[in-house]
Amino acid sequence: MRAFLGDMTRAITLLTILPTRYPSSDGEGTDRTAAFFPVVGLLVGTVTVLALAAVNSLEHVISDEMLFDRLAPMLAPMVLVLWAAMTRLLHWDGLADVGDAWWGGHTAERRLEIMRDSRVGAFGAATIVMISLIQVASITTILENASAVGWSLFAVPVLGRLSATFAAWLGKPARSDGLGLSVMRRPDLLGLIVVILALAVGLGPLVALLGTKGLAVAIVGLILAPVVPHLVSMRFGGVTGDVMGASVLITETLILFTAAVVGVV
């Protein structure tokens, strides 16, 4: 149980700004940190739903409807800022590094070298802008069609971090060191149970409340979660921490776009 809680705490420490202690792994075969990545997604999704519910409740308290009409376009960027702030921009840093390396290197070795550079180049900046624009537009569409709380915004962080779990479980390391390597393990039964329970909690409201449309988005997310990190890692000859972070954002973006297109609230 101590190791189990330690792995969960480590996942929260790695992926959020919460001031938890950083426990060390108990060994090569027992580290289940990656299994708790979707649990971190549940935490992000819960905060998002509570924040949106608070905004909706304020609308009923404050009688100035024009004020909320003016503030409505700001909700989607604020959701994006909330997600980024809760995760201390970790995934965005990975996306920038992957963007620079993806377009700037001609070999896997050169791409890994570019990815180590902490500076953000034109390719990385452009990648961030494009992903941000798609996410903001998709979230805006979702919130405009939402009758109450956008339940897809609860599920998306879970499915996004599931992609990092698959990268850690199924991928091969691109380097002999780094943050990504430290969480890469083959899954065991307990780790699988943790992920299944997190998915049940994260996707349950989406499917139960939104029916076929919610199920469609859930299925798309479950397909994208293993596919995206696999495709990204092929460019670099394996998985790194930056590949995991970029996979989270790319997966989230594709799911948000899907939810917006099918009209899921």
Among 37-41, 174-178, 214-218, which is the least confidently predicted range?
174-178
Would you state the pLDDT for residue 102? 95
Residue 24 has pLDDT above 80, yes or no: no
Average pLDDT, the chain: 89
Would you state the pLDDT for residue 114? 95
Would you state the pLDDT for residue 263? 78
Q: Tell me the domain boundaries of the chain.
A: 2-25+34-262
Residue 61 has pLDDT above 80, yes or no: no
In terms of Cα–Cα distance, which of 190, 195, 136, 120 is closest to 165? 195
Residue 262 has pLDDT above 60, yes or no: yes
* pTM assigned to the model: 0.91
The predicted model gives 156-171 an average pLDDT of 97
pLDDT, tens only, 131-153: 999 999 999 999 887 655 678 89
In terms of Cα–Cα distance, which of 167, 151, 145, 183 is closest to 225? 167
Residue 58 has pLDDT above 80, yes or no: no
The torsion angles phi and psi of 150, rounded to 5 degrees, stand at -75, 95
Would you state the pLDDT for residue 57? 78
Would you state the pLDDT for residue 174? 93
The region, left, alpha or beta by phi > 0 then psi within -120 to 50, assigned to residue 37 is alpha
Residue 230 has pLDDT above 80, yes or no: yes
Would you state the pLDDT for residue 26? 47
Would you state the pLDDT for residue 222? 97
Would you state the pLDDT for residue 27? 47
Would you state the pLDDT for residue 23? 52
Confidence of residue 179 (pLDDT cuts 50, 70, 90): confident
Confidence of residue 199 (pLDDT cuts 50, 70, 90): very high
Alpha-carbon separation of residue 157 from 32, 51, 64, 75, 101 (angstroms): 19, 15, 32, 17, 25
Would you state the pLDDT for residue 20? 67
Query: Among positive and negative, which fits the CA dihedral 115, 121, 123, 127?
Result: positive
d(CA 81, CA 247): 18
Q: Name the more confident of 56 and 79.
A: 79
Residue 48 has pLDDT above 70, yes or no: yes
The predicted model gives 53-67 an average pLDDT of 71
d(CA 202, CA 91): 20
Among 39-43, 45-49, 117-121, which is the least confidently predicted range?
117-121
